[in-house]
Amino acid sequence: MNYKEWEQFLAPYKQAVEELKVKLKGIRSQFELRGEHSPIEFVTGRVKPVPSILDKAKRKQIPLDKIEEEMQDIAGLRMMCQFVGDIQLVVQMLRDRHDLEIVEERDYITRNKESGYRSYHVVARYPVQSFEGLKKVLVEIQIRTLAMNFWATIEHSLNYKYSGNIPEQIKIRLQRAAEAAYRLDEEMSQIRGEIQEAHAIFSRKTETT
């Protein structure tokens, strides 16, 4: 595919990411308006860059004419939560939506990956309207806590630095860091009530000043 063809191929994915970013961020605003704790801290989204699509296709032996059905994360969204308990609330909200058709869920929270990676993945079909008609594209939504996100971001850059071959010593450190992030999530969940009260007091204070 040449540059123009890639642009055309990726256009519906770009639209899906932009639309879903607005919609998912909107959930947070609705909680805020009601003065309630939002299970969503922040939302990000990206379309996989062409070199990464090509790398992944090669790694997973996906022929280019099959990437549309077989590569599930060309359109990717991330929803970050403060507490582990918020993750299932967010997943249920996604299951209840009428503009998404969930095709797969992958729970790397109860069973983390060997690397130490933890996150909940929801793969869904999302309809995008264009002048050629309705097109359903696959999107992958990763739901994770702030601690899980911190770990995954660092591990991702190290993987990039070492072209997927992280030295054994660093791998061990990363596994330990993943355990520490897990314990941090557990500790934060224990004092969840305290944290939420503090947030409420703080936002009332900033509203009046």
Return residues touching ligand 0O2 (CB under 6 A).
48, 52, 56, 73, 106, 113, 115, 117, 121, 152, 155-156
Residue 137's φ and ψ, nearest 5 degrees, are -110, 155
Whichever of 112 and 196 has its CB closer to ligand 0O2, that residue is 112
Task: Answer for the pair 47, 10: CB distance below 8 angstroms, yes or no.
Answer: yes
Q: Any catalytic annotation for residue 18?
A: no
Coil/strand/helix, residue 113: coil
Of 105, 140, 155, 186, catalytic = 140
Q: Which residue is nearest to ligand 0O2 (CB)?
A: 117
CB of 160 to ligand 0O2, least distance (A): 8
Whichever of 155 and 185 has its CB closer to ligand 0O2, that residue is 155
CB of 189 to ligand 0O2, least distance (A): 22
CB of 116 to ligand 0O2, least distance (A): 7
Task: Answer for the pair 12, 128: CB distance below 8 angstroms, yes or no.
Answer: yes
Whichever of 38 and 181 has its CB closer to ligand 0O2, that residue is 181
Coil/strand/helix, residue 165: coil
Task: Answer for the pair 43, 9: CB distance below 8 angstroms, yes or no.
Answer: no
Residues in Cβ contact with 116 at an 8 Å cutoff, skipping those fewer than 6 apart: 151, 155, 174, 175, 177, 178, 179
- Catalytic site residues? 140
